Amino acid sequence: MGAIVDGAITEMNQTLLEKNVKVVFVLGGPGSGKGTQCANIVERFGFTHLSAGDLLRAEIKSGSENGTMIQNMIKEGIIVPSEVTIKLLERAMLENENDKFLIDGFPRNEENRAAFENVTGIAPEFVLFFNCAEEEMERRLLNRNEGRVDDNIETIRKRFKVFVESSLPVIEHYNSKGKVHKIDAGKPVSEVFEDVKAIFSNFDKKEE
């Protein structure tokens, strides 16, 4: 059974609770390799990967008023309001037939964390934290530059600063509850996944 928080509020929440979703938060600095490992977890263990960043970018691409607001905030390096991201995550979980979700890049701060649990009534099964040296993450991001507007050196360093100041308190909160699995993400991809597989061993493997 999924971890449930008291106080589900809306009909949408009740639907998520009835669905008994299992959520794993995936956190790590930009360039920590969490996206690659999420793809491996999806393939091996049958989770659905929900990237908060991808959902926000899709909303921007839609051209909606909401999307324009999000785009302006990202350009300024401002974290998007919790309720905006939570609404996108809720919609994605409800529209998907799966009940096991990796939520990547969220919560970004303590306010995000509290809002997610209060609004959805769901607490994560655990938090997967990809720990990687800033120098290594910077090298990876500069090498991979895929034309993303937020992958220039100045913005990369701003994102590191935001991650350390905002996300680490979230990790500390869940660590105090014994819910954090810390991964050395500076190792080669295959070695990192060996560590990940050990953590997910309690979940059934995806049927071939």
20 is an annotated ligand-binding site residue: no
Q: How confident is the model at residue 44 (pLDDT cuts 50, 70, 90)?
A: very high
7 is an annotated ligand-binding site residue: no
pLDDT of residue 135: 79
* Concatenated DSSP letters of 44-87: HH-PEEEEHHHHHHHHHHTT-HHHHHHHHHHHTTPPPPHHHHHH
2 is an annotated ligand-binding site residue: no
Q: What is the pLDDT of residues 116-173, one digit of tens each?
A: 998 888 999 999 999 887 777 778 787 776 555 555 777 778 778 887 788 889 999 9
4 is an annotated ligand-binding site residue: no
Q: What is the pLDDT of residues 90-110, one digit of tens each?
A: 989 998 999 999 999 899 899
pLDDT of residue 8: 41
Residue 184 and residue 46: Cα distance in Å, rounded? Answer: 23
Element (DSSP H or E) covering residue 180: strand 180-184
78 is an annotated ligand-binding site residue: yes
pLDDT of residue 27: 92
Residue 50 clears pLDDT 90, i.e. is over it: yes
User: Bridge-partner residues for 4, per DSSP?
Assistant: 122
pLDDT of residue 113: 94
Better pLDDT: 154 or 49 = 49
Average pLDDT over the chain, rounded to an integer: 84
Q: Rg of the chain over CA atoms, in angstroms? A: 17
77 is an annotated ligand-binding site residue: no
Q: CB–CB of 20/139 below 8 Å?
A: no
pLDDT of residue 115: 94
pLDDT of residue 189: 86
